[in-house]
């Protein structure tokens, strides 16, 4: 399930699309127990979904590229709940001097938190220490398998980069939910659109724009404070 969006200079048009893949990056992580069950695939359809603009983070003069695959995934109260938790991790990263991006990995079958992460490349002297990767590493270390059980959802406050998208695919994340789009560095609905490529062998359901304005505001505030 992939929620895709197209953003224009003078107006915005949003719709849902569906890819399937994985996104990963490193960060600090917290583990909790949880079981998983298989998620059934959902048929394609279109849905509205507002996405945030990161004017201070990316060059937004360009139009977001459209995804070729169509799919569906409705935003519900639990999506808001879990993205709000990811946003708290992003805010913690900002307080530590890191770019404010946070992630949580959830089992929707039990509505339980599996792992969480926040950006930490500066503190860890590690260019791969993105929030998604931190959460994925914690979860896979706990399970003893580099591939996750089926049915898990990864929530992240910013559209994953190419590195994270690749990790998400390798880990077999069932669903990806992100907050703000990143036209400059993102790789899901922006840039290379990793999950759309023929060399990508796992494509998660994707939903974008959940608490997108709030996630984008955190990033804008962070970069403005450093000008």
List 105's β-bridge partners, or say none: 115, 154
Which entry of 132, 159, 213, 218 is annotated as an active-site residue? 132
For residues 218 and 87, the answer to whether their CB atoms sit within 8 Å is yes
CB-CB neighbours of 11 under 10 Å = 6
Residue with tokens 């900002």: 94
Please say if 132 is a catalytic residue. Answer: yes
Tokens of 6: 């197209």
Instruction: Mark out the alpha helices in the chain (DSSP H runs).
Output: 77-95, 121-124, 131-143, 162-171, 212-224
Cβ 92 vs Cβ 104: under 8 Å: no
Which of the 8 DSSP states describes residue 199? T
**Active-site residue numbers?**
132
């Amino acid at each position: 399930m992939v929620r895709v969006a197209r953003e224009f200079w003078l107006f915005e048009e949003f719709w849902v699309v569906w890819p399937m893949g994985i996104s990963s990056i490193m960060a600090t992580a917290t583990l909790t127990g949880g079981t998983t069950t298989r998620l059934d695939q959902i048929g394609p359809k279109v849905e509205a979904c507002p996405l945030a603009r990161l004017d201070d983070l990316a060059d937004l003069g360009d139009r977001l590229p459209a995804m070729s695959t169509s799919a569906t995934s409705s935003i519900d109260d639990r999506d808001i709940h879990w993205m709000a938790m990811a946003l708290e991790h992003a805010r913690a990263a900002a307080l530590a001097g890191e770019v404010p991006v946070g992630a949580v990995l959830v089992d929707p079958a039990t509505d339980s938190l599996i792992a969480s992460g926040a950006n930490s490349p500066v503190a860890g002297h590690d260019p791969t220490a993105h929030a998604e990767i931190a959460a994925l590493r914690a979860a896979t270390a706990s399970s003893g398998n580099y591939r996750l059980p089926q049915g898990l959802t990864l929530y992240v406050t910013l559209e994953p980069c190419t590195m994270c998208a690749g990790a998400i695919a390798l880990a077999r994340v069932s669903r990806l939910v992100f907050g703000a789009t990143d036209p400059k560095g993102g790789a899901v609905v922006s840039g290379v659109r990793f999950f759309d490529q023929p060399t990508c062998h796992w494509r998660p359901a994707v939903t974008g724009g959940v608490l997108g304005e709030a996630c984008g505001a955190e990033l804008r505030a962070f970069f403005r404070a450093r000008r």
